[in-house]
């Protein structure tokens, strides 16, 4: 499988705890890379994103910016305006959108780049290659075009409501060594093509490939595939909504036993049915019931006993990549996000993920701080929590945390009521208002209190995610 990666800030102080980050204080350094796609090479994680931006990290916490804008002199493609002139001309654009980089058997790095006009699916996607991951990359040519008036790359008349916008590529090897590219944004949906593992180019006679979901300009984009040897599923991550601070961007996932589908959500609904309304543009409620929603807008509000903090959450998190570390068995979610009260400013974030007992990923509530999941006791779990329910909608509303208590006798009281239990070392069972959520308990670093806290992350059968972050007992204002 392809190796990929992640994220960013700077903080001090510590509260060590079992299963936390081993007592060390994580050092975060933040970067801005929109639509970060991760790859690991020579022990370093790299993320490549829109506008020819990139960054690197050894630990997924402290990030260093490599590049940031499409202009001649960018280290990735030093003469980019000439090198990709055909792409810019077709797309009527002077910038590049979300790319993906993969290393093939020849040891070289292949960048799948794309440009798009933006107010239409007039797009071009191509491949550039380099001996070194940081470039310079040389263009090998355009492989797909979209948005034309007339015949498209599949030999049929191009219809933007049914045919793909050729942007947002993710290239990956399946468990059998076949090479694939999943791609698409809005327009006719998300598609998948099989590629030649030697050259990286599409195999012949596929046109735009096979549709996995979407149509009628449904606001679904940024596909990313991750195979889990633990569950033997292919997980297709997606971003719903609009990417700006008022767009309601949120991260979803579906799964299949095959890389080219069919994909389903946790209720068994076919993702091919996740399409837009042909009579109303961007009718979000039509397709919002499809796909497991892992994360949307939220804010953790510190209690009166904790340090003053505002804006401790995310706005429009999305266009993620994901990484599975075969050695440690850990999963990571890498994405860009905006923040409460900070406008359109965005940064990369990385969160650890875990597979729940139903084989669905659940995302840790706080950014990755080097933590390893531990073996916990009931006494480690009880207490007051800041609780977030991410819901199922596509909305610009920021969900504010509410206070609940996990009592020693297994009850949940406060803003919501129910029961909780700890099974095994860290498996979480949370029942809230009659709905059961399955996930894990995890001690991790919380920047808003400068210390380790117990958390829980769990998912219901209908694909709703809930998070809890323990109120820090040792903090003072």
Q: Where are any strands of DSSP class E within 106-174?
A: 109-116, 123-130, 138-146, 170-173
Contacts of 411 (CB under 8 A, 6+ apart): 417, 418, 419, 420
- Quick check: is 265 catalytic? no
Phi, psi of 412 (to 5 degrees): -115, 125
Question: How many CB atoms sit inside 10 A of residue 420's CB?
Answer: 24
User: Can you tell me the distance from the alpha carbon of 191 to that of 290, in angstroms, rounded to the nearest whole number?
Assistant: 17
H/E element, 286: helix 284-287
User: Can you tell me the distance from the alpha carbon of 403 to that of 418, in angstroms, rounded to the nearest whole number?
Assistant: 13
- Quick check: is 400 catalytic? no
User: Can you tell me the distance from the alpha carbon of 251 to that of 230, in angstroms, rounded to the nearest whole number?
Assistant: 22
- For 52, which DSSP code? G
Phi, psi of 441 (to 5 degrees): -95, 145
Find tokens 């399409």 and name the residue. 275
Out of 83, 153, 221, 265, pick the active-site residue: 221
DSSP reduced 3-state for 91:
helix
H/E element, 102: strand 97-103
Strands of the sheet containing 179-183, edge to edge, are: 170-173, 179-183, 190-195, 210-213
Question: How many CB atoms sit inside 10 A of residue 197's CB?
Answer: 14
Contacts of 16 (CB under 8 A, 6+ apart): 22, 23, 452
Active site residues: 35, 221
């Amino acid at each position: 499988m392809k190796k990929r990666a992640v994220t960013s800030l700077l903080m001090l102080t510590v509260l060590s705890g079992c299963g936390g980050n081993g007592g060390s204080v994580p050092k975060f350094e933040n970067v801005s890379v929109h639509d970060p796609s991760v790859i690991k090479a020579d022990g370093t994680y790299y993320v490549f994103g829109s506008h020819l931006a990139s960054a690197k990290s050894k630990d997924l916490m402290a990030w260093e910016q490599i590049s940031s804008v499409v202009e001649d002199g960018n280290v990735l493609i030093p003469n980019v305006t000439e090198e990709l002139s055909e792409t810019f001309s077709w797309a009527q654009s002077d910038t590049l959108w979300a790319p993906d980089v993969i290393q093939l058997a020849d040891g070289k790095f292949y960048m799948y780049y794309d440009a798009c006009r933006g107010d239409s699916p007039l797009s071009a996607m191509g491949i550039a290659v380099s001996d070194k991951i940081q470039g310079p990359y040389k263009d090998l040519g355009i492989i797909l075009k979209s948005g034309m008036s007339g015949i498209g790359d599949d030999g049929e008349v191009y219809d933007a409501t049914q045919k793909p916008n050729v942007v947002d590529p993710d290239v990956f090897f399946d468990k059998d060594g076949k090479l694939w590219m999943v791609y698409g944004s809005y327009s006719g949906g998300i598609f998948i093509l099989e590629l030649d593992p030697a050259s990286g180019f599409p195999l012949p006679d596929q046109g735009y490939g096979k549709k996995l979901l979407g149509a009628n300009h449904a606001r679904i984009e940024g596909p990313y595939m991750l195979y889990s040897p633990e569950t033997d599923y292919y997980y297709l991550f997606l971003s719903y909504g609009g990417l700006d601070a008022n767009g309601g961007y949120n991260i979803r996932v579906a799964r299949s036993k095959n890389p080219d589908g069919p994909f389903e959500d946790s209720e068994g609904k076919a993702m091919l049915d996740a399409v837009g309304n042909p009579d109303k543009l961007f009718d979000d409620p039509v397709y919002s019931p499809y796909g497991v929603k892992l994360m949307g807008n939220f804010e953790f509000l510190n209690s009166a006993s904790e340090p003053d903090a505002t804006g401790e959450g995310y706005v429009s998190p999305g266009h993620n990549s994901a990484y599975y570390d075969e050695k440690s068995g850990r999963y990571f979610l890498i994405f860009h996000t905006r923040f409460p009260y900070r406008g359109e400013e965005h940064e990369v974030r990385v969160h650890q993920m875990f597979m729940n007992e139903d084989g669905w990923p659940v995302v840790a509530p706080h950014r990755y701080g080097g933590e390893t999941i531990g073996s916990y006791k009931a006494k480690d779990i009880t207490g007051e929590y800041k609780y977030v329910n991410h819901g199922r909608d596509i909305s610009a509303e920021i969900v504010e945390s509410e206070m609940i208590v996990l009592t020693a006798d297994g009850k949940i009281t406060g803003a919501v009521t129910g029961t909780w239990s700890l099974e095994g070392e860290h498996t979480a069972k949370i029942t809230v208002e009659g709905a059961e959520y399955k996930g894990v308990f995890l001690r991790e670093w919380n920047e808003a209190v400068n210390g380790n806290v117990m958390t829980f992350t769990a998912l219901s059968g209908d694909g709703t995610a809930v998070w809890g972050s323990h109120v820090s007992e040792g903090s003072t204002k």
